[in-house]
Structures are given as C-alpha cells and as structure tokens.
Structure 1
C-alpha cells in the first residue's frame, strides 16, 4: 500500500491523541457521574484492550483514503471485540476514528465506488453498539434503536460534511479546467490572428518589393547598355530609378504607418482609378502596356477595389519578371450582374525566362480574392503568354463567384 499523504498522517495522529486523552480522563469523569457506567482503570487488561483498538483505528485512518472499501469496515469492525473485553461507555470513544475515517474517505474518493462498504461499516458499527449496550444491561429494543442511531450519526454527519466539501472542490476544479480551456482557446485565436496578420504583411511586402524592385532591375540593366551609347537615355533611366526608389520608401512608410496606432487613417488607398497610375509607372520602365479602363464602372467596396489594384500590380510585376519585353494588356469593365471584371494578359516572352518563381504572388492574389468573395483564375494562353482574371461581385453579393475575364473593350496604349 502506498505511503499516506501528510494530511492523513496528521489526522490519524490527532485521532490517536484525542482518543487516548479521553480514555485517561474517562475514569475520573465516570467516578463523579455514575450514569456513565464503569470505566477501565489505566494499566488494567480492559484498558490495554481499549488502547490497542483505538491505536489500531488511528493507524487505519491514515490509509482509509487509499482503500476505503477495505479500511472503513475494519475501523468499524475492530470495536466489536470490545463487546466482550470492555463494554460500556468506553465503547463510544471508538466513534472518534470512525467519524474521521468517513470524512477523509468521502473527500478523497467518489462515493459511488465504495458506498456498499460504507453500508457494511454502518452495520458493523450498529452491531458493536448494540452488543455493548446489551452487555451493560440495556433491553434489546432500546439497544437496537441506540445502535442504529449511533450508526446514522457517526457515519451520516461526516458523510454530509465530506460530500459538501468534495462537491465544492469538484466545482472549483471544474472552474479551473474551464479557465485553462478558455486560455488555450484565447491562445489559439491569438496565434490564428497573428498568422493572418503575418500573411497579410507578407503579401503587402511582396507587392511592394516585387513591383518596384523588378522595375528598378529592368532600368538598371538598361542603364548598363545606355551609359556608353546613349548617355541622355541613361540619365533618364537613372531618374526613373530614383523615382522607383522613392516609391518603395513611400510604400514602406505607408505599411509601417498602418501598423502604428497613430497612423493617418485619411491617407488615400488604392482603387480602380489608380490602376491607370500603376500602368503609367510600368510604361515608364519601358514596358509595353495597353489599358482599357472605362470611366462609368460600378463602385465595389474599398477593400474590393484594393484587391483589384493589387491583382493588376502583381500581374504586371510577374509579366516583367517572367516575360520581359512581352506586351501586356489590362482590361477592366462592368459586368451584367453589377460586378467588375478585369484581366491582365501578357504575350510570349521575347527574352530569356528567369525560371519559375516562388508562387507567393499567385497565392497572395488568391487569398485577397477570397477575402472579398471574388473569383480568380490564371493560367497560360494559347499563344504562349499568361492571363490573370478577376471577377469582383456586386457590392450587395456575398460569397465566391466564378472568375470570368473580360474579353472586349477598347485598348489604350
């Protein structure tokens, strides 16, 4: 059997001390009150028998929490031996350990696992009290009632108190589990929000870096060829590099500003109208980009317009990287259902293909489209180029819609 807990050892020691003190005091009290009956004198055979039972009960109290089904009947059964050795008022002293044992057992173990043994302990206790009463001359009926009452009081009172304490402990433990579960849920939500924010920042940084840096790389390559043959053109390319560099810094400052609590919330954002400025920036790098952008377009929400702007930006950047020198066409038009469709198409590359990219750009476009319930398609064209199509739903429509790239309209070069 495992070593008892310190609290149970203290309880057992307290039972032993309290019982033995009362055993020593009882002869003095019985001498002044004859109604208590006789009490064994210290040192006599009866006194040693009672002492042995009380000490044995105290020892068993230390182990009752471990095995109440075995220990509790032993604690209430041991005093039965005193019916023949020393009946009378001294028998009541055995109730001290019995009360403590029931209380400890109920607090430590759920009652449903050992309640039949509690009933057995009650029967043994009532039988012992009944035998002790009969041995001292009490009539059988009175002795039976007294034994049953003794069992109900000795076992019922600690059972009630222990069950109340156990229920309070269980409720407190349930609250602790609930708090821990809520904390885990909050941590999971925080991690999910952090992951989404990181993904959003990653997409934003990718847009900024890929868009401007690809233009700077193209201009720098042109400068290397123009510096000897066409110094004036090289100077113009250098000026454009400076403009692109300033644009990178402006976009980075804007991104940092969004992360600050005191950022300017009135700063203008990208819309469908700013696609024209975006195309002009690519044309300034020497790219051939045609634009179809009617003025009488529906007005999706601000977030949907930002998604459209970023899709065009990423598509033109990919075309500059993977199909350098290929002509591009950007089409934006109103759809019959009130939405807006756009497509970015580039022809076959005229220069060497730098190889496959990371795929983050296409992944970012798809995630943005899902945020606003838009449909996105992309893939190669029949002539060896590439096309990206985006369909923004009407402002009053929620959900993902299929992407149908527009196929008509007037191009402007």
Structure 2
C-alpha cells in the first residue's frame, strides 16, 4: 500500500515540476542529481513525506523577476524558510491563486535557491554567490547566506570589492563587510579607479558613503604584504618619500607610505564631489529623512543644494521638520535653508513640524523667523494643523511664538473650531483660554 502511495507521489511530483504551464518551463528537478538527493539531510525526507497527504494545494508557482516560472511544494518552502512560510500563509488567507511573485529575484538565482531548499546542498557557483547571498538574506536562509559570504570573500578583487562592500552593508553580512572594508583599505587607490567603484557610486551612493566612512575609520593593517604593494607607486611619484639628506630612500624604508591614504572623510568627499547636483540634492533629502547629521554635513560640504526639492517640492528642511530631526534642521538652517520654503500644497517646514507634533522643531523654526501664521493652499496655519491633529505641545510652542489663535482657514474655522470638532479636549482648553 505504501509503495503504491509513494509511487503515486513521485509521479505527481515529477508531472507538476515539469509542466509549469509557461512558455519556458523550468524544472527544479533538473538541478538536482540522484547523488544530491541521497545526501540530503533526514529532515528532507520528513518534509517530502508530508506531501503524500497534502492534496491539491501541495504546490505553488513562483514567478521570478525575469518572468521565469518555477513550481515548488508549499511544505518544503514553509519548512525551510520563515519568509516563504509567511508568504504562503498570506496567500492562503487571501484565497488567491497559488502564485508568489518574487520580482526582486531573477530566475537563475531563484532556481538555485529552490535547489538548496530541497537538498540543503549549497550551490558551488562563485559567479552567482553575491546574488545568492542577497536572496538568502531576503528569504531568511542563514546557513546559505553564511556559505555565500565565504564564497564572495574568497574572490574579492579590486573590481569586485566595492560591490561586495555595498552588498555586505545592505544585507548585514558582517563577515563580508569586515573583509571588504579591509581589502578596500589595503587597495584603496586601485579600487577607486575601477569601473566597479564608479558603478557603486552611481547606483547606490548612500551606501557607498557608509562604506567610505567605514574605510576611513578602519585602521590600516600594515602587516599585509598586498596592502603595502597596492599603495606603493613608481619612484617618479612626487610623494614617494625622501631621506633626510635629500637622497632617494634606501631599501630599508617601508614601501607603505601613509601619504597615499586619504585622511578620514576624504574618501567620502572625493566620491561625492563629482556627482551631479541633482544626485547630491536627492542624497541630501534622503539624509534629512534619515536624520543623520554627519551625512547631511558631508553632503553640504561637497556642495549639495540645501534648497533641492523632491517631486512634491519638499526640500530637506521640510523632511527634517516632518520627521522631527532637530539637529539636522539646525544644520540645514545654519547652511542657509529657507525657513519659509513652500511645497506643492503651500506647506512650510513649520506646517510639517506642527502637523507631526514635533514641538522642539517648532521652537527652532519659530526662533529662526519662520512665519507663524503662514497659510497652506486651504488656508490652514501651523496652529490649525496642530489643533486638528491633537498636538498640545506643538500648539503651545506656536502660541508662545506669537501664532494667531483667531485666524480662520478657507472654511471659516479657527484652530479652536478644529480642536472641538476632533474632540481634542486638551487643545480646546489651551486654545480657549485667553
């Protein structure tokens, strides 16, 4: 009886995997050999055995970013990956078709991920290791991720180091991050001259800035021979070194010259200076959203326009105010940011701070000559916004700065009217007192 049942299972499994119903069907089993199946851990047999009674809902179609379709068993995906398990629960609850769209993963990479899920054998594909590392992190496959880190570390070069460092930072691959930072530090000038570095700066400048800061903060390991060789130029270089009496240095002089290594922050500044004004402006807005003062300072140093705007005409000060980043707002104001700048809805930074209830930022903006009674496209002042949203501290700060509590918006409402309508009793008490 068991033999007949198992034979049925095998036939169904093979039929489903081979017949995906797409124009270019891909079978998971094509990448699995008999030897790999035999070497799989005992848990695999348990998972596959559970499929015998799984019924019609046993399989799910995975649609990769390049439209490659693969089929796999729900039980295997859920057992191996917590991320897939959560996705499949969602699909079940929604009652939608048995298809998962994985737009961030390309077909060849997804195919190798599935091979690993079924066999627990790590693919030995060094050229694909960076992409597999990313996928392993996305789908919560820590063992695969660790093995991929080892593969990427083993093939670090001046061409690949920048991309490896970016991947390591974005996907919290600490071992790879340490190795990439150390490698780039040891071969800094060579790496920065590569196409890989230039592409990293263009494609992900913010992460490259983080990488540059790590490089600047990491002590140079002068004991590494390759590091010394990489920083040693020909004798014609002007900073190759001189002896006390003006003669060329003897062979006893260490080949590593600290003068060829940029000082802290010089790395970040050098890679940012050549970016376009538009790119610098985007990065400044992103840094303001994030609230990182050091990034904002660095970007302003390399000439980022403090008045650069996004698609909604909001500049970095708008975003710092909206997110409550007091020190970032202060730094932007010191660099000349327009305290009364308007976005597409005629909101000022003070409107943003009041709407979100960031009282310290409200006080800073008011002290920097912000218009306390500026009106947006519907006639609302910052005090209207604080009253509507129920932010007593922000409203108090505005009143202390001289905001008019009697001003009316285009609907004829005062801030007190909005506080009453939205049942903000504390605001009613504050605004109703004389």
TM-score interval, smaller chain: under 0.3
Relative contact order higher in (CA < 8 Å, ≥ 6 apart): 1
Question: Taking structure 1 as the reference length, what is the TM-score of the superposition?
Answer: 0.16
Question: Taking structure 2 as the reference length, what is the TM-score of the superposition?
Answer: 0.16
Tell me which protein shows more strand as a share of its residues: 1
Tell me which protein shows more helix as a share of its residues: 1
